[in-house]
Amino acid sequence: MARHRPTAEGGYQRGEETRARIIDAALRLFAAHGFDGASTRDIAKAANVNAPALQYYFDNKEGVYLACIDYFVERAFALVQDVVVAAEAQLASDDVSDEELVETYLALQARFAMFLYECPETDHWRQFMARERAGLGPPGAFERIDAGINRRLFALTSALIGRLIGQPASDENTRIRAVAIDSQIAAFKVMRRHILRALQWEGFGEAETQKVQEVLQEHTRLLLLGLIARREQQRKAN
Parse the chain into domains and list their residue ranges.
Answer: 69-237
Residues 6+ positions from 228 with CB-CB distance below 8 Å: 98, 102, 164, 165
- Whole-number Å distance between alpha carbons of 216 and 212: 6
Predicted confidence at residue 63, as pLDDT, reads 95
Predicted confidence at residue 9, as pLDDT, reads 45
Predicted confidence at residue 127, as pLDDT, reads 80
Predicted confidence at residue 37, as pLDDT, reads 94
Q: How does pLDDT run across 119-131, given as a tens digit for each residue?
A: 555 667 778 887 8
- Whole-number Å distance between alpha carbons of 54 and 33: 18
Of 72, 76, 79, the C-alpha closest to 28 is: 72
Q: Which residues of the chain have pLDDT under 70?
A: 1-14, 116-123
Domain 69-237 CATH superfamily: Tetracycline Repressor, domain 2 (1.10.357.10)
Rounded to the nearest 10 degrees, the angle between the axes of helix 206-237 and helix 98-118 is: 150
Neighbouring C-alpha atoms within 13 Å toward the C-beta of 226: 7
Sign of the CA dihedral with 87 first, then 91, 95, and 96 last: positive
Predicted confidence at residue 10, as pLDDT, reads 44
Q: How does pLDDT run across 178-221, given as a tens digit for each residue?
A: 999 999 888 887 787 888 999 999 887 778 888 989 999 999 99
Predicted confidence at residue 137, as pLDDT, reads 87
Rg (CA), the chain: 21
- Whole-number Å distance between alpha carbons of 108 and 103: 9
